[in-house]
Chains A and B, each alone.
Chain A
Amino acid sequence: MSATVLFDVPGPRARRRQRIGTAVGAVVVLALLGLGLWRLAINGQLDPARWAILFDPNTNVPQALGEALVNTLQVAAVGMIAATVLGAFLAVGRLSDHAWVRVPVIAVIEFFRAVPLLVLILFCLLFLPTVGIPMTAFRALALGLTLYNMAVLAEIFRAGILSVDRGQSEAAFALGMRKTQVMTTVLLPQAVRRMLPVLVAQLVVLLKDSSLGFIVSYLELLRQARSLVEFFNSRFGDLYTFQIYVAAALIYIVVNVLLSQVARSIEKRTRRSAKAAATEDVELPADVQMGGGGGAVPHV
């Protein structure tokens, strides 16, 4: 239902009221914004010299933030690739005809979706070393992200496989293919193609979740920003705190918005191509987008 169904086209009086309301609202918003900026200015936060540090290579700040961005992307990339591969296996396992495959796989998927991501990461970081598996913050973060996201992606893939037209698998069986062949040569390729936008959207979620590295001291953007601030604080006092944090947050937002745009354009292309004509709405559910642990209510 488009929004316009909800209200009549405003008449002259309503339009005037709206204009007045808009003006008053704009004044209030601008006043709040101005108040914030004024407080910042009073505290000297808007001083150009303080912001210049973000762009001056001599201070090492741009390099450090760039390195941190690379670290963030690295852990996200490792997590994404591993989670995609494992998720595909789990999805196929969950659709298996054999109960001894299906039941454990369901248990694994539901377990990893039910536990907070941070607890998973801490488990990898704290417990695995005690059983002789060497751990670094990077490995723990990548492993935690992988375990959680493979469960989420397994559900996404399953939905994708189930959404492939039944005639496809029936035709493949009629040609005499085996179950494995049907799955790997007919169903999975179509499902992946169909689920590509969702995969990219999940990458955004994963990238957001990699900020949990802050809590386990992995040098991703946020932790790097924190350590830069600590470094500068020890030398010059509380001079650059705000600027560096704002820069880190902006980098996150820009990268994520860019990735979302990529997801959207991929979705448009998939819609256009004739082979995936039946692509349905592939928006990720809101709870999955929240990251840190999707819902435990199984999607159909």
Chain B
Amino acid sequence: MQFLADNFPLLRDAFLTTLSLAVISGICALVLGTILVAMRVSPVGPLRALATFYVEVFRNTPLTVVFFFLAFGIYEIDLQFPSRFITAVAALSSYTAAFVCEALRSGINAVPPGQAEAARALGLDFGQTLRTVVLPQAFRTVVPPLGNVWIALAKNTSIAAGFAVTDLTAALQRLSNANADQLLLVFAAIVVGYLVITLPSAALIRIIERRVAIIR
């Protein structure tokens, strides 16, 4: 316990880094993923192709490789992110956006065709149909899969540790070097740090799911 008290500032900062990584990347991924899914179902062929290409590439590339390219690869075209943290956010959100897009697309597919047909019959154009009729219903049905993507994202932030972001997993590596005699305690503290994010999220998702579920 003395050990935990001694390292509390380090653990707290690491936890906050992990949390903010997850939250910021989550928001970016949600926005990007929504744009992508709009492109994927849009009437314009090239947009569909572009979005499909994006999703296929990112779904088949390991997150570590995405990190790798954004951290080391883009030097070669004279680009650079202002900080390690922003690099991590960019990698996590561009990777996660592909999965958000897939989750949302399954939601759009679950909206009965009659809804969109009725919207079109009322004279709404594609943007209006999507914005006011289809997407609001789609978001409701995809609460569980989107929630799971969020939880997976929270856990995937651990990869940032390999790229010099001092998140929980980096704290784990640092503490385990310094406290070889208390390894179990170190691991327990780190795991609890992740569970503090994922378990309440899971509970919250279940509550939201029950609130917004559409009974068909």
Contact = CB atoms under 8 A, between A and B. Distances in A.
Interface of A: 1-3, 5-8, 10, 14, 18, 21-22, 25-26, 29, 36, 39-40, 43, 45, 114-119, 122-123, 126-127, 130, 204, 208-212, 214-215, 222, 241-242, 245-246, 248-249, 252-253, 256-257, 260, 285-297
B199 A290 contact: no
B48 to A, nearest CB: 8
A292 B61 contact: no
B139 interface: no
Contact of B191 (A7, A119, A249, A252): A119
A140 to B, nearest CB: 13
Contact of A22 (B44, B134, B172, B173): B44
Contacts, number: 207
Interface of B: 40-48, 50, 56-57, 59-65, 68-69, 72-73, 76-78, 95-96, 99-100, 102-103, 106, 108-113, 116-117, 120, 125-126, 129-130, 134, 144-145, 147-149, 151-153, 155-156, 158-159, 161-162, 169, 172-173, 176, 180, 183-184, 187, 190-191, 194-195, 198-199, 201-202, 205-206
A64 B23 CA distance: 39
B61 A253 contact: yes
A249 B65 contact: yes
A294 to B, nearest CB: 6
B148 to A, nearest CB: 3
Given A256-B60, A287-B151, A295-B149, A130 B69 contact: no
Contacts of A249: 61, 65, 68-69
A1 B65 contact: no
A292 B159 contact: yes
A242 B42 CA distance: 35
A241 B194 contact: no
Nearest to B44: A18
A257 B109 CA distance: 24
Contacts of B183: 126-127, 130
B151 A1 contact: no
A290 B149 contact: yes
Given A5-B113, A292-B63, A10 B43 contact: yes
Contact of B62 (A25, A209, A245): A209
Contact of B44 (A8, A21, A39): A21
Given A294-B152, A297-B147, A40 B76 contact: yes
B64 A212 contact: yes
B64 to A, nearest CB: 4
A118 B159 contact: yes
Contact of A287 (B42, B61, B99): B99
